[in-house]
Structure 1
Amino acid sequence: MLSSATLQPRYRKALFLTLALICFLPAINSPTALILGFMLANVVGMPQDWQLGAVTKKLLSLSIICLGFGIPFSQAQQVTLNNLPLILGSIIATIVIGTLLAKLFKLERNTGHLIACGTAICGGSAIAAVAPAINAKNDQTALALACVFVLNSIALFIFPLIGHMLDLSQQQFGVWSAIAIHDTSSVVGAASAYGEEALKTATTIKLARALWIVPVAALSAMWFGGERKLKVPAFIVYYCLAIAISSLLPQGQLLYDGLFIAGKRLLIVCLFLVGCGITISKLRSHGTRPLVSATLLWIAIACGSLSVVLLTRS
């Protein structure tokens, strides 16, 4: 990586803003945006005082809310209810398998549980919610987040390829990606690369899974003896509100279509910001056992959910 002194801060900032704006263009897709961010972080470097994590979280929440305006309530209800057994079953199976793998690889109890919860529900958001509930240390939380980060990046590239190889329908791919990919950003990124119907299905199911943050964090607090006031993430509430507004007030369809498109482009920018947070030095500092454990857990859930999707193919 170039040293911080190689490129003046103002030029690095200008380069960052230029690439972020470029990601708004239709020619830039999800994987390309992620690569651009990764290259920027590892070749030029990101200033330590930039709070990209907080910015990314806010922009991702905004993009998800905008996507809600493009999903009819009837479709959201049907997709969620039809896949409720798969959603609940996958969450339970992931936490159980993740706990066993953590013991097998002799990971710290907190670290293993955070990886399992992040894989089971919604990646970084679940880890952030569960960490204080179990009194996890900062390094344990960072390690779990790093593992999820890496696997999310891989999923963004390989899931659409596998979907096309297996000739999955838009609906099937949406279900599979929502169950098998960790973070909402990567789920929506992979689904948007596959097609608009896949995007709507994946977003609906993923956010239905995200609601389970609350009971999982509460049970984790009881299991680990921690304590935390729990609440549903605000963006999920606003996402549901966006669906309700677009369904109850159809006369604003032109506006809703514009917000839906804006949400998709903003998501691409979010993936660029995610890439900016991935550095080779960070990955090396954590060792291999947690990443191997997280990878095996991810493969198990991805294969298991894919099998269910294929079995339900008409």
Structure 2
Amino acid sequence: MDSLGVLERHAPGLALLAGGALLAHLLAGPVDGLQPLVVAVAVGFVFGNLVGIPAVVAPGVGSHKLFLETGIVLLGAAVVIEEFLVAGPTVLALVVGAVAGGVLLAEGIARLLFRLDGETPSLLAAGASICGVSAVVAVGRVLDARGTALTFAAATILIFDAITLVAFPLAGEWLDLSARQFGVWAGVSMFSTGPVAAAGFAHSAEAGQWATVTKLARNSLLGGVAIAYSVAYAARSATEPSVRRLWSEFPKFLLGFLLVAAIANAGVLSAAAIDSIGTVSDVLFTLAFVGLGLSIRVREMRRVGAAPVGVVLVHLLIVSAVMLALIRLLL
């Protein structure tokens, strides 16, 4: 298909995302303190559940993931490396603890408390502890998980993405957390990258940066966890995961984020250029968050059983409480 054909196929969906983004800014503008990014998610959610996603707009709407990843890459220009170097070792320790401890905790809760077996506990553990649905898919491919297990694990994570997107900003205000504390807390406790960024920016721009950077640090551990699972399940499967297979699932936009951050902090870019990049990043985030809202479907959430929801709920409560206590103590 030529470039003109690709543009024509994606144009209706892109127009829907743009219209939702514009509406979000119009609705948020008159309300002091209301973030357009949060309204963008709400606009997408309402439209997606009341109207649905017609086939004609589906290709363009699917581009919201690319917008999110590109926005994160450009967000690197706004990162002041000196600030993160000060808290870097502490934040990194929190990230490693949240991922390693979270995986083991979720496995134990699923297998011992809720009596789940097979690959489902591992899929839930990866999704809740690393990077949401992306981790579910990555670990699922490594383990050759069944389609049903993947579907229910992904749907469970999406339920909590929707819940935490609303609950965490409210909790952050109630707990009177600083921007850095809230951003790191969201980054180590919530699941998928999009909701983490949205929750962070709902608090403040600084919290959004901390949440995104912390979440990217968690995402970077996906490859290691996938390898660990492949070794643990080696005796049960005849399919050995290849390096190419693991690399295909690695969140490569993380590398772009680090590159842009390095360039910006090297003094190569002017202040005006950094401001322009930040503006483009904000636009991309708004488009992406409209698409994120469109992807949250109430009908699909109703199909998830009680056991997976119970596993992830207990995991979320324990991890978020422990991380909150550590963050208040250390940051």
Deviation, 1:223, is: 1.2
* Counterpart in the other structure of 1:98: 106
Distance 2:251 2:16 in 1: 33
Cα 1:12–1:125 change in 2 (3 A) is closer
Contact 1:147–1:290 (8 Å) recurs in 2: yes
Cα shift at 1:31: 3.0
Instruction: Return the offset for 1:107.
Output: 2.7
**Aligned-partner SS, 2:98:** helix
* Aligned-partner SS, 1:83: helix
Alignment of 1:58-207 (within 5 A): 58-103=66-111, 104-207=113-216
AA paired with 2:302?
R
Q: Stretches of 4+ moved more than 4 A in 1?
A: 10-17, 51-54
Q: Is the 8 A contact 1:12 1:44 kept in 2?
A: no
Q: Is the 8 A contact 1:63 1:266 kept in 2?
A: yes
Which of the numbers 219, 238, 241 marks the counterpart of 1:227? 241
Question: Cα distance 1:185–1:13, how it changes in 2: closer, same or farther (>3 A)?
Answer: closer
Normalised by the length of structure 1, the TM-score is 0.88
* Residue aligned with 1:69, SS: helix
Specify which of 290, 297, 301 is matched with residue 272 of structure 1.
290
Contact 1:91 1:121 in 2 (8 A): yes
- Distance 1:43-1:223 versus aligned 2 partners, 3 A rule: same
Which is further off, 268-277 or 207-216? 268-277
- Deviation (angstroms), 1:282: 0.9
Map Cα deviations across residues 156-177 of structure 1 (whole Å, 9 max, x no partner).
Answer: 2121221121211111111111
The answer on whether the counterparts of 1:91 and 1:120 sit within 8 Å (CA) in structure 2 is yes
Label 1:150 to 1:53 Cα distance change in 2 as closer, same or farther (>3 A).
Answer: farther
Q: Report the 3-state secondary structure (helix = DSSP H, G, I; strand = E; otherwise coil) of the residue aligned with 2:246.
A: coil
**Alpha-carbon spacing, 1:284–1:108, altered in 2? closer, same or farther (3 Å):** farther
In the alignment, the residues of structure 2 paired with residue 236 and residue 296 of structure 1 have an alpha-carbon distance, to the nearest angstrom, of 29
Amino acid of the structure 1 residue aligned with 2:20: L
Please say which of residues 177-186 and 27-36 is displaced more in the overlay: 27-36
Query: Which range moved further: 278-287 or 12-21?
Result: 12-21
Query: Given the superposition, is the C-alpha separation of residues 23 and 63 from structure 1 closer, same or farther in structure 2, using an over 3 Å criterion?
Result: farther
Shift of 1:115: 1.3
Contact 2:165 2:195 in 1 (8 A): yes
The TM-score, its normalising length taken from structure 2, stands at: 0.84
Do the aligned residues in 2 keep the contact of 1:174 with 1:191 (CA within 8 Å)? Answer: yes
The reply to whether residue 41 of structure 1 matches residue 48 of structure 2 is yes
1:18-52 CA distance string (max 9 Å, x none):
22443466636333222221211221111357247
Tell me the alpha carbon deviations over residues 75-104 of structure 1, each in whole angstroms, 9 at most, x when there is no partner: 343443221221111111111111112112
Aligned-residue CA RMSD (Å): 2.4
* Structure 1 residue aligned with 2:6: none
- The match for 2:3 is none
CA distance in structure 1 between the partners assigned to 2:276 and 2:221 by the alignment: 30
The match for 1:22 is: 23
Checking the alignment, whether the CA contact within 8 Å between 2:179 and 2:204 is kept in structure 1 is yes
- How many residues end up aligned between the 2 structures? 304
- Equivalence for 1:56: 64
C-alpha distance in 2 between matches for 1:127 and 1:53: 22
Residue deviations 1:133-159 (CA, integer Å, cap 9, x gap):
111122222222211112112212121
SS at match of 1:285: coil
Aligned residue for 2:260, secondary structure, equals helix
Q: Distance in 1 between matches of 2:138 and 2:271?
A: 35
Quote the Cα distance in structure 1 between the aligned partners of 2:210 and 2:306: 34
Deviation at 1:14, TM superposition (A): 6.5
Q: How much identity, in percent, do the aligned residues show?
A: 27
* Deviation of the 1:311 alpha carbon: 2.3
Query: Residues 40 and 124 of structure 1: is their aligned pair in 2 closer, same or farther, counting only changes over 3 Å?
Result: same
> Can you list the C-alpha shifts for 1:249-280, whole angstroms capped at 9, x where unaligned?
34422111221232133223222212212222
1:211 alignment counterpart: 220
Partner of 1:297: 315
Give the equivalent residue in structure 1 for 2:7: none
For structure 2, the residue ranges without an aligned partner over 5 or more in a row are 1-10, 30-34, 235-239
